[in-house]
Amino acid sequence: MIKIFNDLKNELKEFKPIKQGSVSMYVCGVTVYDAPHLGHARSAVAFDLIRKYFEYKGYRVKYVMNYTDIDDKMINRANDRGITIYELAQESIVQYEEMQRALFIKSPTVKPRATDEIPDMIKYIKKLDKKGFTYESQGSVYFDTGKMENYKSLFQKKEISEQDTEDEQFTQSEFAKDKKNIEDFVLWKKEKPGEPSWDSPWGKGRPGWHIECSVMAMKYLGETIDIHGGGKDLKRPHHQNEIAQSESVTGKTFVNYWMHNGFLNIDDTKMSKSLGNFISLMDMLKKHSGVFLRYYLINSYYQRPINFSMDKMDQTLQSLKKIQRFYKNLNEYSASNVKGKSIKGISEHKKQIKDFKEQFIDAMDTDFNSPKAMGYLFSIINYFNKSIFTKENQISVEIKEDLIEFLDGIDNFLGFINPQVKEEQEESGSIWKDRFEELTNTILDFRKEVKNAKNFELADQIRDLLIKAGIKISDQGNDYSWEIA
């Protein structure tokens, strides 16, 4: 039985899915204006572990993680670099997904982008409007928090977030005079000159950040979802506001279990772009393998902060090697000369393994406490190292196979016990790379024909679709070249 700590109610409770055997899960994604840093990896690995643990337990998981591809940071960065926000998003998404691959993170089931969902956001704001939860002021549309009874009681503790600052600046200082209540937040921002904007019933503008997640969660997962996750900094006001919007529209509970991961701190300060104390993930991956970084991150309970320190890396690497060596020794351990019952200590070995399996699963079942589970993994390793590998004692084929099977099973969500398997999977990806190149060339050859036939509109459409798929095209006269953006 899985128990989850629901952050909204501050209680550990048995997980009861809405639909038997399946889990709907939404995790607030990144703002795609830059390359990922170790803090992003922390959140991504935490929720990947949770998702895969559900799958290990036999659940079907639908996992939605969005990309926020419109906000002030995006606009400023794109302007600085002289590119469009679309190109900036594209580049950053490719880097983010490279990070996912390097850390053996399974791609989310759906990865919607905010700017693709704007018509739905407009519809949603209209619904809120019809129910009387909004008002217009100076060309922008606000959510009236005064209309929601329990608004103030949602998530008590505020932790500073990079992402709120924009909406807060917009709603709290500069525009405070436009609002009815200080906590009211913007649903639709009036266009500013020189910024990307979309048409709406309230004039040209763009959506507020909070509305994005409510809309995408409901569109892909339904009015009530099992789990909604994100960093602890998103509790207030982002998740508070998501609840306000969603529950005002549907009249139903938005999320049954709220889960938040702790920060990744450096010298006790949160790692963030705005503080300038971040470690780029690509820099980390030059020094350490993805398997190792995954292991490093899984060694912390997802709710707790990680205090990152370079000095601890070596020690952590030694403990990872210990696990991998154990797995290898166990596989190579020859149990061929063992004949059933005559083995010394067999019932004790069996008991040790049985206890270990139960304790490990119980730790994972209790709010995905991976470091506690790792503790049990080390006790069984130490037990075997002392009582079997270094002594005359033997294990039976049955015990050996049982333990290997269990370790292979848990490695589906841990991902670091047997890295060879993962490397093979990586290599088999090269077949797809070849096919991918072939396919891209075929499409671009077709586009050349389309251009020859002077159907430039269609040629541009094909180009735009390829850009959307992450392919950068350079036209050279009638020829072309391309690369992955």
Give how far the C-alpha of residue 38 lies from the chain's centroid of Cα atoms, to the nearest Å: 13
Q: Which is nearer to Zn ion, 260 or 451 (CB)?
A: 260
- Specify the amino acid at residue 477: G
As to burial, measured by CB atoms within 10 angstroms (0-12 exposed, 13-18 middle, 19+ buried), residue 292 is: buried
Token pair recorded at residue 26? 């939404």
Q: How far is the CB of 238 from Zn ion (least distance, A)?
A: 6
Nearer to Zn ion, 235 or 270 (CB): 235
CA distance 208 to 190: 10
* Shortest Cβ 251–Zn ion spacing (Å): 20
Cα distances (angstroms) measured from residue 227 to each of 22, 61, 427: 11, 11, 34
Could you tell me which of 277, 282, 304 has the C-alpha nearest to residue 293? 282
Q: In what side-by-side order are the strands of the sheet with 255-261?
A: 60-65, 22-27, 225-231, 255-261
* Least Å from the CB of residue 212 to Zn ion: 7
Q: Sketch the per residue contact string, 168 through 207, with Zn ion: x for CB under 5 A, - otherwise.
A: ----------------------------------------
Q: Which of residues 388-417 bind Zn ion (CB under 5 A)?
A: none
Of 105-113, 167-175, 218-226, 230-238, the segment contacting Zn ion by CB under 5 A is: 230-238
User: Strand pairing partners for 62?
Assistant: 24
User: ω before 237 within 30° of 0 (cis)?
Assistant: yes
**Smallest distance, Å, CB 210 to Zn ion?**
7
Helix (H, G, I), strand (E, B) or coil at 95: helix
Structure tokens of 345?
A: 């200590």
CB of 158 to Zn ion, least distance (A): 15
Q: Where are the alpha helices (DSSP H) in 197-270?
A: 209-221, 240-250
Between 230 and 237, CB nearer to Zn ion: 230
- For residue 479, the tally of other CB atoms under 10 A from its CB is 9
Nearer to Zn ion, 28 or 61 (CB): 28
* Rounded alpha-carbon distances, angstroms, from residue 118 to 115, 205, 211: 6, 11, 10
**Which residue in the set 28, 30, 187, 361 belongs to the binding site for Zn ion (CB under 5 A)?**
28
Instruction: Provide Rg for the chain, Cα atoms.
Output: 26
Site string for Zn ion, 41-80 (x = CB under 5 A): ----------------------------------------
- Closer to Zn ion by Cβ: residue 31 or 418: 31
For residues 208-227, which are near Zn ion according to CB under 5 A?
213
Q: Measured from the CB atom, is 236 or 349 closer to Zn ion? A: 236
Binding-site size, Zn ion (CB under 5 A) = 3
Q: Considering beta carbons, is residue 85 or 225 the nearer one to Zn ion?
A: 225
Least Cβ distance, residue 59 to Zn ion (angstroms): 21
- Specify the stretch interacting with Zn ion by CB under 5 A; choose among 27-35, 135-143, 288-296, 430-438: 27-35
Among 235, 277, 275, 229, which residue's Cα sits nearest to residue 255?
229
Q: Can you read off the two tokens belonging to residue 485? A: 């953006």
How far, in Å, CA of 395 to CA of 429, rounded?
Answer: 38
Q: For the CB of residue 228, give the shortest distance to Zn ion in the complex, in Å.
A: 6
Q: How far is the CB of 60 from Zn ion (least distance, A)?
A: 22
Minimum CB separation from Zn ion for residue 34, in Å?
Answer: 18
Residue placing its CB nearer to Zn ion in the complex, 189 or 451: 189
Query: 69: closest CA among 43, 102, 91?
Result: 91
The count of residues in the chain is 485
User: At its nearest, how many Å lie between Zn ion and the CB of residue 283?
Assistant: 27
Report the residue number, 30 or 403, with the smaller CB distance to Zn ion.
Answer: 30
The span of 23-31, 39-47, 110-118, 408-416 binding Zn ion (CB under 5 A) equals 23-31
Q: With CB under 5 A as the contact rule, which of the stretches 5-13, 20-28, 140-148, 175-183 interacts with Zn ion?
A: 20-28
Residue whose CB is less far from Zn ion, 227 or 381: 227
Interface contacts to Zn ion, rule CB under 5 A: 28, 213, 230
